[in-house]
Structure 1
Amino acid sequence: TSVKRTKNLMKVPVGDAVVGRVLNALGEPIDGKGEIETNEFSLIEQKAPGIMDRKSVHEPLQTGIKAIDALVPIGRGQRELIIGDKQTGKTTVAIDAIINQKGQNVICIYVAIGQKESTVAQVVRKLEEYGAMEYSVVINASASDSAAMQYLAPYSGVAMGEYFRDHARHALIIYDDLSKHAVAYREISLILRRPPGREAFPGDVFYIHSRLLERAAKLCDEKGAGSLTALPIVETQAGDVSAYIPTNIISITDGQIFLETDLFYSGIRPAINVGLSVSR
């Protein structure tokens, strides 16, 4: 296959036309419901809003989970990390948060990175079952997609979320999960022969996540007071929160919800360790 330059920057369709759809990392529909009819496109790489364009977070974003809403409340425009080992219910917490936005006028974007196709299909079915697809967008770069697609997916998702943020509306974006995103980026970097650093990740792996998460913000009244809330998910290995990617993302986000295997298996679900979870 030949590679040709288009001389265009990477853009994805945005606006109400994408709501209710399942798309790939390039913003192309993969749900078999036909083309997306819109004239509105947005660059996937945008600068995050500056200090003067922001406002401190003051409205709550109810997740519908008592342990979160009472002890580690999330505000509109906040970035809250959901962290825990595999099979501790991280995705469930995120999906519950989406379902709970029904009637709240919040557009939800679920970005699946490196997940099994069957898992994503299950999520879409669950959202349809609760009528949540009416205000949601699902972006899927599955495990069978190339590393480049998995790397692009969250940026495509945030571009769609930013459209609503900049049009005085509220959006919620979930990245599931950024550990796999970092692994995809590591693969690309090693192929490009960039020098590896800690855990063989490239030196700019912090920057790829910080520039992504800084785009979630609560805008000031002059800019329309819209918001984009981010719930990134990170999978730990054997509860090791001090590994490279978990510590990076904990330092970028405004708090974390820490899920524990022991609590999960003792029947406490959602398995939130309220001692280690914080909301700043």
Structure 2
Amino acid sequence: MDLGEVFHPSLAAALMKLDPEDGEKIMEYFQTHALLTREKALLQASVREQKKLLVENGKLKKDIEQLRFQLQDKQRRRVAKALLSPNHAPGTPVNQLPPTAGSEAASSPPSGVLDQWSKATCRQKGVKRAPTAAPPLGRELPVDVSRLDLRVGRILSVGPHPLAENLTVQEVDVGEKAPRTIVSKLPRKELDGALVVLLCNIKSCKLKGVASQARLLWCFQSDHAVELLAPPTGSNPGDRVTCLDFPGEPDRELQSKQRVWERVQPSLQVNARGVANYKGCGLQVKGKGLCRAWSFTNCNIK
């Protein structure tokens, strides 16, 4: 590269005139410095672009994950409806249910669960779908503690809420790729690092402009006497909290219209020994012990 491409010709001529012996070396130094500065600027721009792409990629992955969970939840509910259908004999696979009366027995698809590909195929071929029978009254999914996704979390930080003096914002590790943000009335910063129990499958909601992604479980003796429910010693973030007498997998997300939490919560208690329980059965982390209140007995869990 010619020196004139980097520096003004008059500057090069002036340096050569002032110092004929070292003028060329000085210009080479300036040229090298200018080239390094240009390459550094290009590298910084590339890094910024890479970070931007990583953020966008993370958002896309999160959206895809949410859509996948929604699809799985819909499929699970369709399977449940099919299994509760009067047409379903015990032991019969869902995909072998008999067709509903009035449909074409030979060409109609089986009642029950049809995925998106099957639905598109039926539309293309003009096949009439058999209507799915509604579950009979009184045979809904049970409403108990097994529907709740209770997990152990570790408080990473507690900070003030930007818009509400009586609220704080916590970052809590629940064993996922990123911590969850929780808005509550947790008052003490010395609880940083404490293990807690969280309800993780409630719908995310904004409290004074900050999205809360889970719910801390508290032990209440009165409005002014509260403390956090504690998991057993040795628990790790992400460990499931279960109830032996109520097995089952939790809902992907609790539906507000079903009011599952509101119907289960009154039966969550701390007994006289300080052990958390649901209808007399202790809440446990399998292989590690029972959840307890720190100091309270005979109180409610909210």
- Shorter chain as denominator, the TM-score bin is under 0.3
- What's the TM-score once normalised by structure 2's chain length? 0.21
Structure 1 length normalisation: TM-score? 0.22
Larger relative contact order (Cα-Cα within 8 Å, sequence gap ≥ 6):
1
- Structure with the bigger percentage of strand: 2
Which of the two has higher C-alpha Rg?
A: 2
